Chain A
Amino acid sequence: MVRIKKESPDRPDNTAFTQQRLPAWQPILSAGIVIPGFVLIGLAFIGVGVGLFITSRDIQVLEIDYTGTDQTSDCNKCTNPNTKNCVCTLSFNIDTLFKGPVFFYYGLTNYFQNHRRYGVSRDYKQLYGDLANFKDPSTDCAPYRLDSRNNPIVPCGSVANSLFNDTFKLYQIVNGQRNVVPFDGKGIAWWTDYNVKFKNPDVTPLQNAFNGTVKPLFWTKAVYELDFSDPSNNGFINQDFLVWMRRAALPNFRKLYRRIAEENYTNGLPAGNYSLEISYNYPVLSFNGRKKVVFSNVSWMGGKNDFLGIAYLVIGSLCVVMSVVMLIVYAKFKFPEDD
């Protein structure tokens, strides 16, 4: 019998890929690699954690609740929903210099800005200055799309309608004299928001674009009246409005109101007595919410947050502990192959 020696046409390709022999790196998670790795990661994390923790501790935060449920509070008088244009004053004092720049926030609790029904109730096109949507706002805006006489609401929707409308004025009491602490309201919203995402309609004067529309039901003035002094902060690109329109992730939130970094206060708020004048408009008691104001300064890693530092410390130490445990296991049940 003669066997024909020739390459069969059906023979599979003999390449590294088809024969599953591609060169490969074959790492194994063995104790020898993982233990030193864990020690290194652990130490690095502890280092970062310590840094974060110290930075975070240096950040000063002053938080004042002004809901007014407390009888002693000056704002108690404003809790009655029938009171209009109520103004109350909060006094507080600062012992040491509150290092600047100081950020001034208002905070709300139990306020579900992340509620879906609330969140979808807005019209992006309208806020982009699209006049077609002025006449006919998106149906997403319901129930704040048209008023009772079927006029379109601009800006429509729940989010815009519920714009936070308490206003604050801060005075430093120096020798019984009330000195206004100047607030800076620029750059508190995202740069991209007031330059790209939100646009006023291309109409001058701005007011004309809003003919035939009504302001949101809750509002006392129209959107083009938010800041007469500065056209770049008026209408849809008003920064307070933009800050509000960016929905908070969680039901208890703070939003940036102003920065204090001007005139005598570039270095922060000096020690002393202060008085905060609040025009109290925003009702929160119906849903058991609270209102507060917060003064805080920031570091390179943002605002005060002990959690991140502590978490780093905990995970770092866990890594180290784990490596020790593994070392014990390894020493006790050591395998010859690891020599």
Chain B
Amino acid sequence: MGMDFSTLRTLISRYCVGEENWVDSRTVYISHKEPPPGTEAFIQQRFPDNRIVSSKYTFWNFIPKNMFEQFRRVANFYFLVIFLVQLIIDTPTSPITSGLPLFFVITVTAIKQGYEDWLRHKADNAVNKCPVHVVQDGKVTCKQSRKLRVGDVVFVTEDETFPCDLILLSSSRDDGTCFVTTASLDGESSHKTYYAVQDTKAYKTEEEVSSIHATIECEQPQSDLYKFVGRINIYMNNEPVARPLGSENLLLRGATLKNTEYIYAVAIYTGMETKMALNYQSKSQKRSAVEKSMNDYLVVYLCILISKAIINTALKYVWQADPNRDEPWHNERTEAERQRHILIRAFTDFLAFMVLFNYIIPVSMYVTVEMQKFLGSYFILWDDEMFDEELGERAVVNTSDLNEELGQVEYVFTDKTGTLTENNMEFIECCVDGHVYVPHAICNGQVMPGSDTIDMIDTSPGPDARDREELFFRAVCLCHTVQVKEEETVDGIKHGIHQGKSSSFYISSSPDEVALVEGMNRLGFTYLRQKDSHMEILNRDDKVERFEVLEVLSFDSVRRRMSVIVRCSTGEVYLFCKGADSSIFPRVISGKVDQVKARVEHNAVEGLRTLCVAYRCLSPEQYQEVCHLLSRAKLALQDRDRQLAEAYDLIEKDLILLGATAVEDRLQEKAADTIESLHKAGMKVWVLTGDKMETASATCYASKLFRRNTQILELTTKRTEEQSLHDVLFDLSRTVLRHYGGMTRETSSGLSDDYTDFGLIIDGATLTAVMRPGQEGSNSGNYKELFLDICRNCSAVLCCRMAPLQKAQIVKMIKTSKEHPITLAIGDGANDVSMIQEAHVGIGIMGKEGRQAVRNSDYAIPKFKHLKKMLLVHGHYYYIRVSELVQYFFYKNVVFIFPQFLYQFFCGFSQQPLYDTAYLTLYNISFTSLPILLYSLIEQHINADILKKDPSLYKDIAKNSLLKWSSFIYWTALGIYDAIVMFFGAYFLFDNTTFTSNGQLMTTNTQMMFGNWTFGTLVFTVLVFTVTFKLALDTHYWTWINHFVIWGSLLFFVVFSLLWGGIIWPFLNYQRMYYVFMQMLSSGPAWLSIILLITTCLLPDVVKKVICRALWPTTTERIQKADKLYKGQLSEFTPLASLHHQPKAGGLQRGSENQRNAAHPRRSDTPIKKVMYTRWQRSTNYCTFTPLPLFANGSKRDSAYGGAESETSV
């Protein structure tokens, strides 16, 4: 549908709130010629030059600006503060420990951003220095693009890109039009027609053009690509002539001139003021649920950190109350310290403790999460299964911040046209006054009223009817905005209109229109071209008819119709109007309304897209009035849109109905299969469409959104006309709740096949009524709640007749409802942009309606079917990976820092660090960073095939289940347990015993005592090993990379420790670690205790895992086990549904089901697989089998279990 521009318009105007009322305007002197004296004096404004600056930094401001940008992030700022505190006060750890990681992170980010900016500079330079042709003093000269100024007259030849926003003055075509493709702006590859100002279109040479004396008044630049108002004042013979300028005169920077030899145009917006530049605004940031949990955890840890510091500070002063403890003779303070005020001392101590424990919130977590997201998103890009050969497109990731959100989706809002369907329109039939015409595929200029398909409502067409019929065909041929593209070479893909003649094909922004014009071609009327504002039609008798196009009342989604006013060769003036039935019927005064209406409804039920066609004869007086109305509206500088709409409303009335057309839009490949999978995965799928209810619901049935047993609830204008909205809502909610009240027992099985589910249909008008904020009394405000309640209990909802903004409203309503579900919106057109941006995750389909949706989406996929893999596989993996990443990071830092906290109790709360500086610094950067990063990139707990085959696994991770507080507490508790084991294990080995290296291995009779650094190193060694092994235990997918990284990290730790302690490092002013690690390794008890402590730390987690797996296995775990048993062949043949977690009861009835099951062999498997299969059968005795679907026929079961791709298409 061609309704998309207005959506975008509303959308963009939402962005630039306030600019609507911007009355400021600018005046442009064409070729910088002053207006003749006597005219209103303008103050010449200063305009920027045509330089495009997309780079953020310059060479000089890079460092300060980039630093500022980076430290604006809370995390970085926190670490900076810690670092500064370390520099200022006497702290336990060297500033290097937090400075180095911070420096590392900041530097890496700065390098990355610097590189990106350098690329931008390069691109900017390429653009800014490219040559443009400018008319100066009657000559065309060449200039660098950046030197272009407002008011310059630019000369552009075919296939060149416009260097700035231009007003078309004249073109090489006689009618002053030019064709433009805006593919690089909004992705629409169709050719759009732009018009030169009527009074200047005759100036066709550079001399002539430079003689133009005119000024242009227009609004200041705004970002709406499709909106422009202005006025040109031409001073020809002293008398200035004012002409309106609209978006049809404005050529945008970035668009390309096509099919036109050359044009002259004047620059009005340059550089950063062009609409293209204004549209490069950053999109609003979406944050994923995982990120929110992460921030919550962070707050908890910050609280822990602060309370740890407070506790220790308080205890320190309690403990020091005895002066001999505070300052024993062997450990005296300096005089300066003694004189410091106690409060200052306490505060310094507090800061010192903060510094000591600050590692609990590691810098590297942010870096790792960001790297994981960035690198991980490449797997989406690389996915070959999401590559579409037909389009030659692969998935696109516009933001990697939301990868894991793909695994959390609860509501899917999908567009219908182009998303569920192919948006590949095919003309099916038309109906003129009740007579149905079906074109045959091979019927050249011959009317074939399809003999068997014709629906004879009326008697056979008489001569009068034949006139009407031809009028209808002409109307369809004329009432459109299709262009004819003529191509010299015959391209195999394109459709030729006429064999033998020069090949040409139709282009339009609306596929419906192309389908209609092509359909007319097959019915005998061929639209040839538009030339000199005349449309040419080849009629049935191969004669060319010419119609002068007087006005085009273009399409918009509010009116849902378009009209043309033409004058035939006989001089009569007609208005032809084409539009949705709902917008045509109220304006019709005569014609066979009932018959057409019946046919339209019939077609809509079949799932066809219908349009009605009507006409009106305009008398010369009426036409004058129309012209008057339109020109007044068009000249308005303000509120032009509204005035135009009003004018259109006045003009498109008193129509005579001609007939209706029907166009089919086929379902996309595997759309039904995908929807079914989404349903099984526990997602609620809503279809939001602008289409009419009958068409949309037919599509819904075809795509299995509604099943045969779905009980449809209607909430439409039709019903609310009979009953009040209030009653209808209460009725519906009663129905739904009664049903569910009685069904709770059965439905708990979680499978949707065995009970009737509900489907709701609501239309735009009713929705507005429901959403209207309470006006009379309090109870109307409850409608929304009530409505939400009903929706919550429906597995599928169809919203038809939706305006684009309503789509976003619905998404917002669900998003903000009390469960705060995660929503996903998917669509292909500009009318879906609003909901794509509103939803948590927005997915664009690379459809035929341009690139608007793709550009504004978070992810883009070629086809709807790819959504399945996107959510069920990629989303699932990313969620598992990120949640482990987050939990593990907090865990490993608790284990890291908690022993240090405990150590304070044994060192007089003196902030003595337990570990050496190098260990404190490198723990998060290098010893434990790579394994978790690699885990979070390549972990696969279950094979991708199984995930795809068994969508219900998706439910296992629903509602952010892996990051619930309970699991967070488990991880933290595990961390604290491990920390306690490590610390007190080491403590009891050191305390009051001679835990020493006896050195007997090297020299007899020597013995060496260990000091505090050995104590710390022992704890640290256990720590690094435990934490790494814990990750190894969680890894389900050991590729060579995992082995390399995990064992490599441990090896690195050992090698580093040996090196660090093995050399007197000249740059260090302390040598406390010298030989500490080696001496520790030379001690037998140290080895024994390391082994003991690691085992003890890991023990409870292993036991918990095994017991939980045995007692309360999740579906995921059952399938892992089964997959393991069948050595990865599970995915190929096993009925996974049987593995689902079922209440353990009644084995008898299940046996019978097994027999039935056996009676339906699913596939002819290879013999080996058959053996496996029978094994499987035996084993199912122990677990419940899926309740049989209501339709117990074999083929359906096939598709349910075997994954056979049976696709129903309309």
Contacts and interface: CB of A to CB of B under 8 A. Distances in A.
Interface in A296-316: 296, 298, 300-305, 307-308, 311-312, 315
Given A26-B1038, A283-B329, A31 B1109 contact: yes
B701 to A, nearest CB: 29
Interface in B703-760: none
A24 B1007 contact: no
A30 interface: yes
B988 interface: yes
Nearest to A115: B910
Given A103-B1007, A337-B1179, A302 B908 contact: no
B1181 A336 contact: yes
B379 interface: yes
A261 B1084 CA distance: 22
Nearest to B985: A311
Interface string B510-541: 00000000000000000000000000000000
A217 B76 CA distance: 47
A1 B1096 contact: no
Given A11-B387, A196-B1064, A256-B1009, A24 B1039 contact: yes
A117 interface: yes
Contact of B1079 (A22, A158, A190): A190
B59 interface: no
A52 B1181 CA distance: 50
A174 interface: no
Interface stretch (A87-95, A175-183, A226-234, A327-335): A327-335
A316 to B, nearest CB: 9
Given A28-B1120, A119-B1012, A305 B1105 contact: no
A162 interface: yes
Given A115-B331, A249-B1015, A250-B990, A28 B384 contact: no
Nearest to B907: A114
Given A115-B331, A115-B907, A250-B991, A187 B1005 contact: yes
B215 interface: no
A187 to B, nearest CB: 4
A2 B993 contact: no
Contact of B329 (A286, A296, A326, A335): A286
B1102 A29 contact: yes
Contact of A302 (B92, B1039, B1083, B1118): B1083
Chain B interface residue number, banded: 35 or more
Interface string B1153-1182: 000000000000000000000000011111
A259 B1007 contact: yes
B333 A162 contact: no
B16 interface: no
Contacts of B389: 8
A310 to B, nearest CB: 9
A68 to B, nearest CB: 17
A188 interface: yes
A251 B906 contact: yes
A184 B1004 CA distance: 13
B333 A329 contact: no
A308 B1092 contact: yes
A219 to B, nearest CB: 12
Interface residues of A, number: 105
Given A18-B382, A124-B1069, A303-B995, A197 B907 contact: no
B907 A2 contact: no
A112 interface: yes
Nearest to A5: B389
A206 interface: no
A238 to B, nearest CB: 15
A90 B696 CA distance: 103
Given A18-B379, A29-B1106, A192-B1074, A11 B394 contact: yes
A34 B393 contact: no
Interface in A179-212: 184, 187-192, 196-197
Interface in A217-272: 218, 243, 246-252, 254-256, 259, 261
Contacts of A311: 985, 988, 1092, 1096
A117 B910 contact: yes
B768 interface: no
A3 B390 contact: yes
A248 B911 CA distance: 16
A101 interface: yes
B383 A12 contact: yes
Given A116-B911, A187-B1005, A28 B1036 contact: yes
Given A3-B390, A27-B1036, A103-B994, A308 B989 contact: yes
Interface string A259-294: 101000000000000000000000100111000000
A333 B1128 CA distance: 24
A187 B1008 CA distance: 8
A87 to B, nearest CB: 22
Contacts of A243: 1009
A276 to B, nearest CB: 19
A308 B907 contact: no
Given A11-B394, A26-B1124, A301-B1084, A188 B1007 contact: yes
Contacts of A1: 492-493
A86 interface: no
Contacts of A325: 1107
A16 B991 CA distance: 54
B1111 A319 contact: no
B603 to A, nearest CB: 26
A12 B384 contact: yes
A191 to B, nearest CB: 8
B771 interface: no
Contact of A326 (B390, B1033, B1095, B1103): B1103
Contacts of B1072: 124
B987 interface: yes
Nearest to A101: B1005
B122 to A, nearest CB: 23
A70 interface: no
Interface in B1034-1071: 1036-1042, 1064, 1069-1071
Nearest to B356: A116
B1110 interface: yes
A335 B1084 contact: no
A168 interface: no
B1110 A286 contact: no
A20 interface: yes
A9 B1042 CA distance: 32
18 contacts: A12-B384, A18-B383, A45-B1092, A103-B1007, A112-B908, A115-B331, A115-B908, A184-B1005, A187-B1005, A190-B1008, A248-B1009, A249-B1010, A252-B992, A302-B995, A302-B1085, A303-B998, A322-B1103, A336-B1178
Interface of B: 92, 324-325, 328-335, 378-379, 381-385, 387, 389-390, 392-394, 492-493, 877, 906-908, 910-913, 938, 940, 944, 985, 987-1000, 1002-1003, 1005-1012, 1014-1016, 1033, 1036-1042, 1064, 1069-1072, 1074-1075, 1079, 1083-1085, 1088-1089, 1092, 1095-1096, 1099, 1102-1103, 1105-1107, 1109-1111, 1113, 1118, 1120-1125, 1128, 1178-1183
Interface of A: 1-4, 8-14, 18-31, 34, 41, 45, 48, 52, 101, 103, 105, 111-119, 121, 124-125, 128, 138, 142-143, 158, 161-162, 184, 187-192, 196-197, 218, 243, 246-252, 254-256, 259, 261, 283, 286-288, 296, 298, 300-305, 307-308, 311-312, 315, 318-319, 322, 325-326, 329-330, 333, 335-339
Given A251-B908, A333-B1110, A338-B1121, 15 more contacts: A4-B492, A12-B383, A14-B384, A30-B1109, A112-B910, A138-B1069, A246-B1010, A250-B991, A252-B992, A302-B994, A302-B998, A303-B996, A305-B1085, A330-B1110, A339-B1179
A-B residue pairs, 10 tightest by C-beta: A303-B994, A162-B330, A249-B1015, A18-B382, A336-B1179, A187-B1006, A8-B392, A116-B910, A249-B1012, A116-B912
